[in-house]
Amino acid sequence: MVVRLPRDYIIYSFSKRYVPKYRATPGEVVIFETIDAFGGQIVDESVTLESIDWSKVNPATGPLYVEGASPGDTLLVEIEEIKVSDKAVIMVAPGFGALPDKEFRPTVKVLEVAGGKVRFGKVEIEVRPMIGVIGVAPSDGEFPTGTSGYHGGNMDVALVTTGSRVYLPVFVEGALLALGDLHVVQADGELCVAAAETPGEVRVRVELIKGKRPKYPIVEFGDRFSIIAFGEDLDTAAYRASEEAVSVLMRALSLGFEEAYMLASLVVDLRINQVVDPMKGVRAEIPKKYVRLEHLLYPSI
Ligand code: CA
Protein backbone atom coordinates (compact mmCIF):
# COMPACT_ATOMS: atom_id res chain seq x y z
CA MET A 1 0.00 0.00 0.00
CA VAL A 2 1.29 3.43 -0.93
CA VAL A 3 1.93 5.84 1.95
CA ARG A 4 -0.23 8.92 1.49
CA LEU A 5 0.38 12.12 3.47
CA PRO A 6 -2.89 14.08 3.66
CA ARG A 7 -3.04 17.78 2.87
CA ASP A 8 -3.88 18.78 6.43
CA TYR A 9 -0.60 17.26 7.64
CA ILE A 10 1.48 20.40 7.17
CA ILE A 11 4.39 22.31 8.65
CA TYR A 12 5.54 25.92 8.29
CA SER A 13 9.18 25.28 9.18
CA PHE A 14 11.83 22.63 8.67
CA SER A 15 12.93 21.36 12.08
CA LYS A 16 13.72 18.14 13.89
CA ARG A 17 11.24 19.11 16.60
CA TYR A 18 8.33 17.62 14.61
CA VAL A 19 7.42 14.06 15.48
CA PRO A 20 6.63 12.38 12.16
CA LYS A 21 3.43 10.40 11.88
CA TYR A 22 4.29 8.82 8.51
CA ARG A 23 7.22 6.56 7.64
CA ALA A 24 8.60 5.01 4.48
CA THR A 25 11.42 2.62 3.69
CA PRO A 26 13.94 3.31 0.92
CA GLY A 27 12.51 2.30 -2.45
CA GLU A 28 8.97 3.06 -1.37
CA VAL A 29 6.54 5.25 -3.28
CA VAL A 30 4.88 8.04 -1.30
CA ILE A 31 2.13 10.48 -2.20
CA PHE A 32 2.10 13.99 -0.76
CA GLU A 33 -1.18 15.88 -0.99
CA THR A 34 -0.46 19.61 -0.95
CA ILE A 35 -2.30 22.88 -0.54
CA ASP A 36 -1.18 26.00 -2.39
CA ALA A 37 1.41 28.52 -1.18
CA PHE A 38 -1.35 30.85 0.08
CA GLY A 39 -2.80 28.07 2.22
CA GLY A 40 -5.88 28.00 -0.03
CA GLN A 41 -6.93 31.47 1.16
CA ILE A 42 -7.30 33.01 -2.30
CA VAL A 43 -10.60 31.54 -3.42
CA ASP A 44 -11.44 34.21 -5.99
CA GLU A 45 -10.22 37.54 -7.36
CA SER A 46 -12.13 39.56 -4.76
CA VAL A 47 -9.80 38.41 -1.99
CA THR A 48 -7.69 41.31 -0.74
CA LEU A 49 -4.12 40.90 0.41
CA GLU A 50 -5.02 42.53 3.76
CA SER A 51 -7.42 39.67 4.44
CA ILE A 52 -4.73 37.00 4.03
CA ASP A 53 -3.30 35.44 7.17
CA TRP A 54 0.43 35.54 6.32
CA SER A 55 1.23 33.03 9.06
CA LYS A 56 -0.54 30.47 6.87
CA VAL A 57 1.54 30.87 3.70
CA ASN A 58 4.12 28.45 2.30
CA PRO A 59 2.82 25.29 3.95
CA ALA A 60 4.73 22.07 3.22
CA THR A 61 3.19 18.63 3.62
CA GLY A 62 5.15 16.44 6.02
CA PRO A 63 7.39 15.50 7.57
CA LEU A 64 8.00 11.97 6.33
CA TYR A 65 10.46 9.80 8.26
CA VAL A 66 12.63 7.72 5.93
CA GLU A 67 13.78 4.56 7.67
CA GLY A 68 17.54 4.18 7.85
CA ALA A 69 18.37 7.80 6.95
CA SER A 70 21.15 9.18 9.17
CA PRO A 71 23.16 12.40 9.23
CA GLY A 72 25.76 12.28 6.46
CA ASP A 73 23.55 10.34 4.00
CA THR A 74 21.80 11.55 0.88
CA LEU A 75 18.04 11.38 0.47
CA LEU A 76 17.09 10.89 -3.17
CA VAL A 77 13.58 11.99 -4.07
CA GLU A 78 12.51 10.86 -7.52
CA ILE A 79 9.61 12.95 -8.75
CA GLU A 80 7.35 10.46 -10.52
CA GLU A 81 4.21 12.50 -11.01
CA ILE A 82 2.83 15.94 -10.16
CA LYS A 83 -0.94 16.40 -10.42
CA VAL A 84 -2.19 19.97 -10.29
CA SER A 85 -5.63 21.49 -9.94
CA ASP A 86 -7.68 23.03 -12.75
CA LYS A 87 -7.26 26.43 -11.09
CA ALA A 88 -4.17 28.41 -10.08
CA VAL A 89 -3.73 31.77 -8.38
CA ILE A 90 -1.14 34.51 -8.70
CA MET A 91 -0.77 37.91 -7.04
CA VAL A 92 1.31 41.09 -7.22
CA ALA A 93 1.77 43.67 -4.48
CA PRO A 94 3.99 46.74 -4.11
CA GLY A 95 7.16 46.00 -2.17
CA PHE A 96 7.42 42.42 -3.42
CA GLY A 97 9.18 40.74 -6.31
CA ALA A 98 11.99 41.83 -8.59
CA LEU A 99 10.61 45.40 -8.85
CA PRO A 100 9.77 46.28 -5.24
CA ASP A 101 10.01 50.07 -5.75
CA LYS A 102 7.19 50.26 -8.32
CA GLU A 103 3.82 51.73 -7.42
CA PHE A 104 0.83 49.76 -8.60
CA ARG A 105 -2.41 48.17 -7.46
CA PRO A 106 -2.22 44.96 -5.44
CA THR A 107 -3.84 42.44 -7.78
CA VAL A 108 -4.98 38.85 -7.53
CA LYS A 109 -5.69 36.66 -10.55
CA VAL A 110 -7.30 33.26 -10.79
CA LEU A 111 -6.05 31.26 -13.76
CA GLU A 112 -7.81 28.39 -15.49
CA VAL A 113 -5.83 25.25 -16.26
CA ALA A 114 -7.18 22.99 -19.00
CA GLY A 115 -5.89 20.81 -21.82
CA GLY A 116 -2.28 21.12 -20.71
CA LYS A 117 -2.42 24.93 -20.84
CA VAL A 118 -2.74 27.76 -18.34
CA ARG A 119 -4.95 30.57 -19.60
CA PHE A 120 -3.67 34.04 -18.74
CA GLY A 121 -6.05 36.48 -20.41
CA LYS A 122 -5.38 36.15 -24.15
CA VAL A 123 -2.19 34.19 -23.57
CA GLU A 124 -1.92 30.42 -23.27
CA ILE A 125 1.08 28.92 -21.49
CA GLU A 126 2.20 25.28 -21.56
CA VAL A 127 1.68 23.57 -18.21
CA ARG A 128 4.92 22.53 -16.55
CA PRO A 129 4.15 21.50 -12.98
CA MET A 130 6.95 21.92 -10.45
CA ILE A 131 7.58 21.80 -6.72
CA GLY A 132 8.57 25.12 -5.07
CA VAL A 133 9.30 23.83 -1.56
CA ILE A 134 11.13 20.55 -0.93
CA GLY A 135 13.51 19.92 1.92
CA VAL A 136 14.60 18.07 5.03
CA ALA A 137 15.11 19.07 8.66
CA PRO A 138 18.37 20.92 9.46
CA SER A 139 20.68 19.60 12.18
CA ASP A 140 19.74 22.46 14.51
CA GLY A 141 17.28 25.28 14.70
CA GLU A 142 14.36 25.93 12.49
CA PHE A 143 14.05 27.27 8.95
CA PRO A 144 10.71 28.76 7.88
CA THR A 145 9.32 26.95 4.81
CA GLY A 146 9.46 30.31 2.97
CA THR A 147 13.25 30.34 2.86
CA SER A 148 15.95 28.03 1.49
CA GLY A 149 19.38 26.74 2.46
CA TYR A 150 21.57 23.63 2.56
CA HIS A 151 18.49 21.68 3.64
CA GLY A 152 16.51 22.69 0.52
CA GLY A 153 13.27 24.52 1.32
CA ASN A 154 11.67 27.24 -0.80
CA MET A 155 14.10 26.84 -3.70
CA ASP A 156 11.55 27.54 -6.45
CA VAL A 157 13.60 25.70 -9.06
CA ALA A 158 11.60 25.15 -12.25
CA LEU A 159 13.62 21.96 -12.87
CA VAL A 160 12.05 20.22 -9.86
CA THR A 161 9.45 18.66 -12.08
CA THR A 162 8.19 15.26 -13.23
CA GLY A 163 11.14 13.03 -14.02
CA SER A 164 13.69 14.95 -11.99
CA ARG A 165 15.70 13.52 -9.11
CA VAL A 166 16.40 15.69 -6.10
CA TYR A 167 19.36 14.81 -3.87
CA LEU A 168 19.15 16.32 -0.39
CA PRO A 169 21.80 16.13 2.33
CA VAL A 170 20.49 14.35 5.44
CA PHE A 171 21.10 16.11 8.78
CA VAL A 172 18.86 14.21 11.21
CA GLU A 173 17.66 10.64 11.73
CA GLY A 174 14.85 9.88 9.30
CA ALA A 175 15.69 12.97 7.16
CA LEU A 176 12.16 14.41 7.77
CA LEU A 177 11.16 15.21 4.20
CA ALA A 178 8.43 17.74 3.48
CA LEU A 179 7.25 19.36 0.25
CA GLY A 180 4.61 21.68 -1.14
CA ASP A 181 4.15 24.99 -2.99
CA LEU A 182 3.27 23.46 -6.37
CA HIS A 183 3.36 25.70 -9.42
CA VAL A 184 1.46 24.84 -12.59
CA VAL A 185 4.19 26.78 -14.35
CA GLN A 186 7.02 29.11 -13.31
CA ALA A 187 9.79 30.72 -15.31
CA ASP A 188 13.32 31.15 -13.97
CA GLY A 189 13.35 34.25 -11.77
CA GLU A 190 9.74 34.08 -10.57
CA LEU A 191 9.76 37.84 -11.11
CA CYS A 192 6.55 39.00 -9.45
CA VAL A 193 7.09 36.84 -6.27
CA ALA A 194 4.38 34.29 -7.07
CA ALA A 195 3.89 31.73 -9.83
CA ALA A 196 0.75 29.84 -10.92
CA GLU A 197 0.15 28.59 -7.35
CA THR A 198 -1.98 25.50 -7.01
CA PRO A 199 -2.90 22.62 -4.72
CA GLY A 200 -2.17 19.13 -5.97
CA GLU A 201 -0.62 15.78 -5.40
CA VAL A 202 2.97 14.61 -5.80
CA ARG A 203 4.04 10.99 -6.19
CA VAL A 204 7.67 10.38 -5.32
CA ARG A 205 9.95 7.44 -4.72
CA VAL A 206 12.43 7.87 -1.88
CA GLU A 207 15.88 6.28 -1.89
CA LEU A 208 18.93 6.54 0.34
CA ILE A 209 22.59 6.85 -0.49
CA LYS A 210 24.48 5.93 2.66
CA GLY A 211 27.62 7.60 4.00
CA LYS A 212 27.92 10.54 1.61
CA ARG A 213 26.02 13.66 0.81
CA PRO A 214 26.10 16.76 -1.41
CA LYS A 215 27.12 20.19 -0.12
CA TYR A 216 24.02 21.81 -1.66
CA PRO A 217 20.81 20.21 -2.88
CA ILE A 218 21.36 18.70 -6.34
CA VAL A 219 18.73 18.34 -9.06
CA GLU A 220 19.30 15.80 -11.81
CA PHE A 221 17.16 16.50 -14.85
CA GLY A 222 17.75 15.48 -18.46
CA ASP A 223 21.45 15.43 -19.27
CA ARG A 224 22.49 17.71 -16.39
CA PHE A 225 23.22 17.92 -12.70
CA SER A 226 22.32 21.28 -11.13
CA ILE A 227 23.88 22.55 -7.91
CA ILE A 228 21.23 24.62 -6.10
CA ALA A 229 23.01 27.47 -4.30
CA PHE A 230 21.49 30.30 -2.30
CA GLY A 231 22.45 33.63 -0.79
CA GLU A 232 21.06 36.84 0.63
CA ASP A 233 21.88 38.39 -2.73
CA LEU A 234 22.43 36.99 -6.23
CA ASP A 235 26.19 37.64 -6.16
CA THR A 236 26.60 35.43 -3.09
CA ALA A 237 24.42 32.70 -4.60
CA ALA A 238 26.36 32.86 -7.89
CA TYR A 239 29.69 32.70 -6.03
CA ARG A 240 28.63 29.61 -4.09
CA ALA A 241 27.26 27.84 -7.19
CA SER A 242 30.48 28.63 -9.11
CA GLU A 243 32.79 27.59 -6.29
CA GLU A 244 31.07 24.23 -5.93
CA ALA A 245 30.92 23.62 -9.69
CA VAL A 246 34.69 24.22 -10.01
CA SER A 247 35.34 21.94 -7.07
CA VAL A 248 33.19 19.18 -8.63
CA LEU A 249 35.04 19.48 -11.96
CA MET A 250 38.37 19.22 -10.12
CA ARG A 251 37.29 15.97 -8.49
CA ALA A 252 35.61 14.53 -11.58
CA LEU A 253 38.46 15.12 -13.99
CA SER A 254 41.45 15.25 -11.59
CA LEU A 255 42.16 18.84 -12.57
CA GLY A 256 43.97 21.60 -10.71
CA PHE A 257 42.00 24.67 -9.75
CA GLU A 258 43.23 26.70 -12.74
CA GLU A 259 42.10 24.15 -15.34
CA ALA A 260 38.79 23.44 -13.63
CA TYR A 261 38.09 27.19 -13.37
CA MET A 262 38.73 27.62 -17.10
CA LEU A 263 36.70 24.54 -18.01
CA ALA A 264 33.79 25.83 -15.93
CA SER A 265 33.73 28.87 -18.20
CA LEU A 266 33.22 26.57 -21.14
CA VAL A 267 30.73 23.96 -19.90
CA VAL A 268 28.92 25.14 -16.73
CA ASP A 269 25.76 27.23 -17.14
CA LEU A 270 24.83 29.51 -14.25
CA ARG A 271 21.11 30.15 -14.17
CA ILE A 272 18.83 32.07 -11.87
CA ASN A 273 16.20 30.07 -9.97
CA GLN A 274 14.42 33.01 -8.37
CA VAL A 275 15.20 36.58 -7.29
CA VAL A 276 12.27 37.10 -4.95
CA ASP A 277 12.55 34.83 -1.90
CA PRO A 278 14.43 35.73 1.32
CA MET A 279 17.34 33.65 -0.06
CA LYS A 280 17.99 34.27 -3.75
CA GLY A 281 18.74 31.19 -5.82
CA VAL A 282 21.31 30.44 -8.50
CA ARG A 283 22.08 27.02 -9.94
CA ALA A 284 25.18 25.74 -11.68
CA GLU A 285 24.25 23.23 -14.39
CA ILE A 286 26.95 20.71 -15.27
CA PRO A 287 26.42 18.33 -18.21
CA LYS A 288 26.51 14.69 -17.10
CA LYS A 289 29.06 13.89 -19.77
CA TYR A 290 31.72 15.54 -17.56
CA VAL A 291 30.72 14.41 -14.04
CA ARG A 292 29.08 11.49 -12.30
CA LEU A 293 26.87 11.68 -9.25
CA GLU A 294 29.69 10.43 -7.00
CA HIS A 295 31.66 13.60 -7.79
CA LEU A 296 28.89 15.70 -6.24
CA LEU A 297 28.76 13.72 -3.01
CA TYR A 298 31.22 13.89 -0.11
CA PRO A 299 32.03 11.20 2.43
CA SER A 300 30.61 12.09 5.82
CA ILE A 301 33.10 12.60 8.60
CA1 CA B 1 7.80 29.48 -3.53
Residue where one domain finishes, among candidates 147, 178, 213: 213
Residue where one domain finishes, among candidates 213, 228, 258: 213
What is the CATH classification number for the domain harbouring 143?
A: 2.60.120.580
Q: What is the DSSP letter of 194?
A: -
Tell me how far the alpha carbon of residue 153 lies from the centroid of ligand 1, in angstroms. 9
In this predicted structure, what is the pLDDT of residue 301? 60
In this predicted structure, what is the pLDDT of residue 49? 85
Tell me how far the alpha carbon of residue 134 lies from the centroid of ligand 1, in angstroms. 10
pLDDT digits (tens, 9 = 90+) for 98-119: 999 999 999 999 999 999 999 9
Are 205 and 281 members of one domain? no
Are 179 and 232 members of one domain? no
Tell me how far the alpha carbon of residue 90 lies from the centroid of ligand 1, in angstroms. 11
pLDDT digits (tens, 9 = 90+) for 10-50: 999 999 999 999 999 999 999 999 999 999 999 999 998 88
Under 8 Å between Cβ of 177 and 151: no
Q: How do beta strands 212-214 and 297-299 pair? A: antiparallel
Ion ligand 1: residues, Cβ under 5 Å = 132, 154, 156, 181
For the question of whether the overall pTM of this predicted structure is more than 0.85, the answer is: yes
Q: What percent of the chain has pLDDT over 90?
A: 97
Tell me how far the alpha carbon of residue 189 lies from the centroid of ligand 1, in angstroms. 11
Are 78 and 186 members of one domain? yes
Are 12 and 147 members of one domain? yes
For residue 240, the surrounding DSSP H or E stretch is helix 234-253
pLDDT digits (tens, 9 = 90+) for 133-185: 999 999 999 999 999 999 999 999 999 999 999 999 999 999 999 999 999 99
Are 184 and 262 members of one domain? no
Tell me how far the alpha carbon of residue 120 lies from the centroid of ligand 1, in angstroms. 20
- For residue 293, pLDDT over 90 is answered with yes
Residue where one domain finishes, among candidates 191, 213, 235: 213
Closest CA to 213 of 160, 175, 164: 175
Are 168 and 282 members of one domain? no
In this predicted structure, what is the pLDDT of residue 1? 82
| Domain encompassing residue 141 | 2-37+54-83+130-213
Tell me how far the alpha carbon of residue 250 lies from the centroid of ligand 1, in angstroms. 33
What is the CATH classification number for the domain harbouring 280?
A: 3.10.28.20
Residue 122 included in any domain = no
